[in-house]
Amino acid sequence: MSGLDSLMIAALSLANFAAEISAKAWSSDLAVDYKSDGSSLTQADLLIETRWREEIKRQFPSHGILGEEYGSDTGTSAFTWVLDPIDGTRQFGTGLLNFASLISVCRDGMPVLGIIDMPGLRARYAAAEGNGTLFAGRRVRSSSRRDMTEAIISLANPDSFGRESASGYENLRSTGRVRVFDGGAPAYGALARGLIDICLNGDDLDAYDICALCPVVQEAGGKITDWYGQPLSLASSGAIVASASPELHAKVLARLSPGI
């Protein structure tokens, strides 16, 4: 068993725990609090990340951890777990289903394993470097589309695009065959599955929102970067874009460049 295989087994176990907790919380009387930045927070977020951290420290005591709720614990190995217990808490707290648990492992700062788990739909994307992307236990691929005018485009909440990125958002919103909005992390899974061709997010992302998406998109044949075309890593934050093929990605970046 390779190192990534053992990490994937552990990550899937963490996802199973989170799915049970978040599904139960979503079905109950949700109590939503708000952080100082205005983002939503539930007890499920805190419970999941606490358990995740305990398990990671027990199984991999030398690994680092970066989580949305409890910050960074520096490790002594090349590996860092990047965790978002409920990505899309705004949707989760309002009874919508497009939320996900995000689990990633970075090696030397670069994402090499990612899980997008959607417990409300009992659906999961899992990917590790060199092993492809799995959805519902089967390998999936991006559409490989190259023509932007025929593309199905997922655009984040318009409020997430600040002054510098707003024009890039408008440039992309004016093209494509079909546009959907505020799909969150599940949209990047749908891109890996060949159902969406372009995903665009604005300035409000952090590493724990980003890292799990990277292996899922890349191992399915897609490309994901920041708006400048730079690779994404543990140090990344801000606006990102993913495309179903490298050729399409180059066209998307050119379309965004006036807004950068």
pLDDT per residue as tens digits for the range 152-168:
999 999 999 998 899 99
Same domain, 34 and 109: yes
Answer with the one of 140, 174, 195 that is the final residue of a domain: 140
Stretch (H or E) spanning 235: none
Q: What is the pLDDT of residue 45?
A: 87
Same domain, 240 and 177: yes
Q: What is the pLDDT of residue 82?
A: 98
Same domain, 129 and 15: yes
Q: Is 129 annotated as a binding residue?
A: no
Rounded Cα gap, residues 59 and 158, in angstroms: 41
Same domain, 251 and 130: no
Place of tokens 């690994």: 63
Same domain, 187 and 114: no
Q: How many residues does the chain have?
A: 260
Same domain, 119 and 224: no
Same domain, 107 and 234: no
Q: Is 87 annotated as a binding residue?
A: yes
Same domain, 215 and 166: yes
Same domain, 136 and 153: no
Query: Among residues 117, 44, 107, which one has the least CA distance to residue 77?
Result: 107
**Token digits for 250?**
């180059």
Q: Any residues with CB less than 8 A from the CB of 234 and at least 6 apart, and which?
A: 66, 80, 82, 106, 109, 110, 111, 207, 211
Same domain, 156 and 133: no
Q: What is the pLDDT of residue 258?
A: 57
119 φ/ψ angles, rounded to the nearest 5 degrees? -65, -30
Same domain, 38 and 112: yes
Low-confidence ranges of the chain (pLDDT < 70): 1-2, 30-32, 34-41, 258-260
Q: Is 48 annotated as a binding residue?
A: no
The CATH number covering residue 241 comes to 3.40.190.80
The CATH number covering residue 39 comes to 3.30.540.10
pLDDT, one tens digit per residue, over 13-52 is 999 999 999 988 888 876 667 665 656 667 888 999 999 9
Answer with the one of 93, 119, 140 that is the final residue of a domain: 140
Question: Residue 59: which domain range?
Answer: 3-140
Answer with the one of 140, 164, 183 that is the final residue of a domain: 140
Overall domain count for the chain: 2
Q: Is 240 annotated as a binding residue?
A: no
Q: Is 68 annotated as a binding residue?
A: yes
Q: What is the pLDDT of residue 185?
A: 97
Same domain, 10 and 130: yes
The secondary structure of 13-59 as a DSSP string is HHHHHHHHHHHHHHHS----EE-TTS-EE-HHHHHHHHHHHHHHHHH
